[in-house]
Amino acid sequence: MIEFEKACEIALQHYEKKLGINGIYSPYDIGDAWVFNGGREDEGRVGIQKIAVSKDNGEVSTFNLPSPKNFALLDAGVALELPEKYR
């Protein structure tokens, strides 16, 4: 099992290396994973794919929206504060 801060690092590296996007924001705990947006909250980007980082092994997967199932996961999830070094 990985810690939240490690998941932040994984998400940040994923967005930087795979998509050339600097930053993460708006993390959610959805039970078995953490969900992240890529970029900076104040940039107002549109169309950036959310990702989920597995709590078990740190595996990254896409978190597709719109999706009734994924919207329900976010609604039931917990919004988290991003650690200072990732802001």
Query: Quick one: pLDDT at residue 46?
Result: 67
Give 43 or 40, the one with higher predicted confidence.
40
pLDDT at position 65 over 70: yes
Residue 45's pLDDT band, with cuts at 50, 70 and 90, is low
Question: Is pLDDT at 32 greater than 90 in this prediction?
Answer: yes
* Exposure b/e, 2-34, CB count within 10 A at least 16 = b: beeeebbbbbbebbeeeeebebbbebbebeebb
Domain ranges of the chain: 4-86
pLDDT average, residue stretch 69-83: 97
